[in-house]
Amino acid sequence: MKIAIIGAGNMGGAIARGLAKGNKIESSHIFVSNRGNAKLEALKSEFPKLNVTTDNAEAAAKADVVLLAVKPWLVEGVLKELKLDASRQILASVAAGIPFAQYVEWVGAEMPIFRVIPNTAISQLESMTLIASYGATKEQEEWMLEVFNEMGLAMLVPESQMAATTALTSCGIAYVLKYIQAAMQAGIELGVYPKDAQRMVAQSVKGAAALILNNDTHPSVEIDKVTTPGGITIRGINELDHAGFSSAIIKAMKISCVK
């Protein structure tokens, strides 16, 4: 399968790099287009076998899968420019908030379409990527999951859940980073050097995630393991609850769920 990535910005560039590092698609089968040359040249210097061009239509014409990595307000114009072949191509888009019905209207034909929502950790091959499909076969869905599982963890979700799950993952990674920032500030006040505090807290977050992802467990179970009676951890947990920590997270997720 050959894939064209339309747009080499932060997300498009990260996806191109992730694909080039993986084994699912050969670098010579990846086509990246962008209006300017600078980002294309940077990609080419890292991965010489990538195909780069400033012509979106040229990149799309050579691909089996065309992935739009442009801003939502640019999608309609870019689609008109590409002239996709609905009989042989698959359309994928990372643009948030655009429903399948709108893509069908813009393309002017029924074709397999995927909405793909990674988060910024895709640059580290650690994204939580959401995928919704329209008119796709089971084999096409499995292929798309395999592609993005090489860049972290990918999950297939119904379009009706895209807004909610985007709040949990694409927005949610910022809330995790906010916790890391706050914990660092506490460490600095307690006399720990900023860089040391940052590494300590970031590794603790990574470890907490590994406990959940690698074991058949639940956050409450893991919290119980470190909250001994009369201990210092339960004091901190209770203070978080008194301060509305859980409520603040829930409110942040809900307000980020824009349908």
Q: Kindly tell me if the per-residue pLDDT of 171 is higher than 70.
A: yes
Report the pLDDT value the prediction gives residue 259, as an integer from 0 to 100: 65
The tens digit of pLDDT for each residue in 208-227 reads 999 999 999 999 999 999 99
As a CATH number, domain 3-157 is 3.40.50.720
Contact between 90 and 66 under an 8 Å Cβ cutoff? The reply is yes
Q: What's the rounded mean pLDDT across residues 59-67?
A: 95
Give Cα 212 to chain centroid, integer Å: 19
Contact between 94 and 68 under an 8 Å Cβ cutoff? The reply is yes
CATH superfamily of 165-256: ProC C-terminal domain-like (1.10.3730.10)
Mean pLDDT of the residues in the chain: 95
Contact between 176 and 205 under an 8 Å Cβ cutoff? The reply is yes
Q: Retrieve residue 253's tokens.
A: 């997720």
pTM surpassing 0.85?
yes
**Distance between CA atoms of 49 and 44, rounded to whole angstroms?**
7
- Domain residues of the chain, as ranges? 3-157, 165-256
